[in-house]
Structure 1
Amino acid sequence: MRSQQKTNRCRKKNGFHQKPLRIPPDFGTYAERHGLFEMYKRLIESLLINKPQDPLDHLTEVLKRENDDVPSVIIHGPPAAGKTSIARMVCAKLRTAYISQDTLLADDVSPLAAKAKEYIAKNEKVPTELWVDMVKTRLQLFDCIKKGWVMDGFPQSREQALALQEVGISPKHYVVLDAPDSVLIERQMGKRIDPETGGVYHTTFDYPSNAEVERRLVEPPEGCSEESMVDRLVVYHRHTQGLQSCYDKLYKAVNADQPTADVFSQVMTFLSSRQRTLAPHNPRIVLLGPTGSGKSVQAALLASKYNIVSVSSGQLVHEAIANESKIGEAIKPYVDREMLVPDNLILKILDERLSQLDCATRGWVLRGFPPTREQAENLQNEGHEPNRVFFLDVPNDSVYERLTLRSLDAVTGDRYHALYNPPRTTDIKDRSAQQPTDAEDAIRQRLSNYYAFAEEIADFYEDAQHINADQDPHTVFECVESMLVNPLPKRAQVE
């Protein structure tokens, strides 16, 4: 016994067990905000692909010109699927460079383009290596580096796709416009081209309203006959599976047999998505919503499935008081008088809890806090920046129905609901009673407090996701879970 006491005194003297291990929260936040893991991965890939003589100089140049946020898109599909129209619309929307085989060949100053034209003039196939060199040279220009690029209809085969990957050219999104062959043949037979602007029109579905444009229209160089279209479709279908296998994780098929506006909308929705990262990810989740929206239930489900720490500011306050800590003694007078605990005390106990080893290594879900913009700013200034914020939206009528019909068994502590989970026996019903906090006046006051600051807190958390919580808890959990495991869409690409 004395030996154990002596050991404890020595450990206390040397700083052991005085406080839980505190992990600075800004370490992980900084790395995630600036994409350090992805940056390191891209630099290593660049070294392995380019094999420079001086790796350090090469990395310095890559970092100087790197801009990984720009779009890099390939839009593919069978003939007459509308690739060119959608690609040009995407370029106009995202303000990126437009690249196609025609634009590559139209470069009058490029010796590579001149060489490719020689093959075409001889009715010979342009070598894959030459196409790849032309694409690589084009992507090294300033507009592609700074603005990004959209490639229309290239590569056309698995061989060309692999050759692009070998030199480090790979898109972030690969879109395939698909439609039945019968629809494509009908489209091609009515297809017309404006030779001055490159605009694509159709004699039935999209005829120009301008008479001057109408006079300029000509048939496409590949012809409009059904026989030539069938031959082109056969070639396309021969290569489509091989191409898809090269871009399987980036692939999205869009039905092109619908209005152009709908096709474009679906393409843009896909382009606003992000690829999954291989970087270590610790969830830092904030659940907000009115009283009775199910924040505690969702926090418990998340903590159970993903082994993250469920944190409640109210529970931490009661624990601090029960432990008779210094901060608990400072908080106790406010709780005894039923007064609001000052923000600085709440933030202090939250900072201590969220900086502990389990929260730093496993992640955390914080429910019901922060309720105001000021508290959200203070929480972020302490380094605890959430990477997911969910608003659980519930109509007030549903809140009253959920809470006013609840009762508590004074013997067992079990909760019951008159509609969804009524007491199983008469004895339980007789001894169960409504809690004062579930009275209508108390609920009305809590709802008023929440909505007084709801708009400003929503403005602060711009990337927050709103979820309809007026449904089964497990259905709500599926919505939360889908947004948790998948990257959030890019707001900049969706208006």
Structure 2
Amino acid sequence: MDETARPLRIPVAMATYGDTHQLSHLMQELLSILLLRRPDDPISFLIQMLTSRCDIPRVLLLGPPAVGKTTVAKRLKTELRAVHVTPPSLLEDQSLHTTRNQQEPPDELMVKLLHQRLTKSDCISRGWVLDGFPRTRLQALSLQQAGILPRHVVLLEAPGVQVLQQRSEGRMFDPLTGDLYHRTFLWPDDEGVAGRLESGRSLTEEQLQQYRREVTGLSSAYQHVLKVVNGDQPPDDVYRQVRSVLQTRRCSRTPRILLFGPPGSGKTLQAGRLSDKYRLVDVCCGQLLRSVASGASRLGKQIQTYLDEGQTVPGLMELQVVEERLGGVDCSVRGWVLHGLHPDLQQAQRLRERPLLATRVFFLEATDRVCLERIRGQRYHLVKNQFQTRPEDLEALRRYRDLVQDLQCLYPDAVHIKADQDPQSVFESLESKLTSN
């Protein structure tokens, strides 16, 4: 190893470009389709996929028996022009029929049949909606190993047994089309259809118990793409919410978080918590400047001069140091949370124009009284035997108040968090906005 080699530095603009154009998401999509199709000529196949439509549905519906999965799937099939795939349809294609007294087909067979069906031209070109399988975490992992990777997974959730039993007892099906109806919730307008409906099978306690045992593990297998929809609603409301989920685009984005807030608002504390939980690089501008100043570089010596004289490091110099740090391999791969910036208006504008685009910008908001109380609690004077506020603390608070409105105009999409509550509540608010679409 060449010990004199400089550490690898990835330009910040490269990560920004990748996230802006969703390259990670694109690569994940192409790889999943490649594993599913397994073409003889992968390069030509990928070129063809890149020039074709990229919004082909691949939807998996989960939920307890009688929650309405099949009804939603049939409506999705019609609206999206996708292929509706169910275990019974696979078994009919293979002339494999099961009754109540027969055992279900082995998981290996079902996975094989699903792979064969989903790789046919209609599923590839039109997309698919799958319900009725998998029912266990092991089955879900087997599908993933076979390259069957849904783009959206929706879990229809029912609050209690009574709702499911009520739906089960009123279920009716059309023997001609296989469509499902309900005596109370979903009755056909066509009298001819209504006249030929037959009663469906009743829900058993054993089926519910089996679902309860498996639902946690099954959900965890799809935790990164899973969305939960309340199934105890009118059918039209359930369907609208499912369609809303399918219209969202799942993106793999590297977290890049920028925290603004007055002194005493808790930026350092919250940045540390975010860093610990999400393995982000905690970039504190004050610590970063002191670290650079302790080195022998020309820039470090210039920064040290300002620090020795108790002056604020010029914003452009601070931005140069920050850009170099965010270009490190750890920041590019893991993401970062940046706090402690002290730009003036001109430098704040340049900060917005430079390739430091954050995926989330937060303003921690707290009153002067709360901020000063917190600052006093951090400073104890041994001689006077009391907590105190330094003049520089008051000056830093004044500078932030003068600048904050201009900063908020530069980041109109930023999220404002009430920071004068307890730290755990602040962190929960940050998390809820961080993980939302």
TM exceeding 0.5: yes
**1:230 to 1:198, Cα distance in 2 relative to 1, 3 A:** closer
**1:385 to 1:268, Cα distance in 2 relative to 1, 3 A:** same
Would the aligned equivalents of 1:406 and 1:434 in 2 still touch at CA under 8 Å?
A: no
Would the aligned equivalents of 1:72 and 1:171 in 2 still touch at CA under 8 Å?
A: yes
Cα deviation per residue 1:223-281 (whole Å; 9 max; x = unaligned)?
15xxx3147x766866886798667411666653455577568767876899897xxx9
Question: Match for residue 150 of structure 1?
Answer: 129
Question: Match for residue 434 of structure 1?
Answer: 389
RMSD of aligned residue pairs (Cα, Å): 5.7
Q: How many residues align?
A: 415
Consecutive unaligned residues of structure 1, counting only runs of 5 or more, are 1-14, 106-111, 417-422
The equivalences for 1:444-459 within 5 A come to 446-459=400-413
Residue 456 of structure 1 aligns to which amino acid in structure 2?
Answer: L
What secondary structure sits across from 1:39 in the alignment? helix
What secondary structure sits across from 1:434 in the alignment? coil
Consecutive unaligned residues of structure 2, counting only runs of 5 or more, are none
Q: CA deviation at 1:367?
A: 0.9
Question: Match for residue 391 of structure 1?
Answer: 362
Question: Match for residue 379 of structure 2?
Answer: 415
What secondary structure sits across from 1:171 in the alignment? coil
Question: Match for residue 164 of structure 2?
Answer: 184
What secondary structure sits across from 1:458 in the alignment? coil
The equivalences for 1:54-453 within 5 A come to 54=40, 57-65=41-49, 71-87=57-73, 96-101=80-85, 116=93, 133-137=116-120, 140-144=123-127, 149-154=128-133, 168-172=147-151, 173=153, 175-178=155-158, 180-191=160-171, 202-205=182-185, 213=189, 215-216=191-192, 218=194, 221-224=197-200, 228-230=201-203, 248-250=220-222, 256-260=231-235, 284-302=256-274, 306=279, 308-312=281-285, 316=289, 325=298, 329=302, 341=314, 343=316, 345-355=317-327, 364-369=336-341, 374-380=349-355, 384-386=356-358, 388-394=359-365, 398-405=366-373, 415=379, 427-429=384-386, 432-439=387-394, 443=397, 446-453=400-407
> Which of these two proteins has the greater Rg computed from alpha carbons?
1
> How many Å separate the matches in 1 of 2:265 and 2:232?
42
Question: Match for residue 470 of structure 1?
Answer: 420
Would the aligned equivalents of 1:403 and 1:438 in 2 still touch at CA under 8 Å?
A: no
**1:263 to 1:470, Cα distance in 2 relative to 1, 3 A:** farther
Provide TM-score, normalisation by structure 2: 0.65
**1:134 to 1:317, Cα distance in 2 relative to 1, 3 A:** closer
Provide TM-score, normalisation by structure 1: 0.59
Q: CA deviation at 1:399?
A: 1.9
Would the aligned equivalents of 1:320 and 1:328 in 2 still touch at CA under 8 Å?
A: yes
Question: Match for residue 8 of structure 1?
Answer: none
What secondary structure sits across from 1:142 in the alignment? helix
> How many Å separate the matches in 2 of 1:158 and 1:401?
52
**1:317 to 1:260, Cα distance in 2 relative to 1, 3 A:** farther
Residue 403 of structure 2 aligns to which amino acid in structure 1?
Answer: N
Would the aligned equivalents of 1:376 and 1:457 in 2 still touch at CA under 8 Å?
A: no
Residue 151 of structure 1 aligns to which amino acid in structure 2?
Answer: L
The alignment-based identity, stated in percent, is 28
Instruction: Name which of structure 1's ranges 126-135 and 467-476 shifts more when overlaid on structure 2.
Output: 126-135
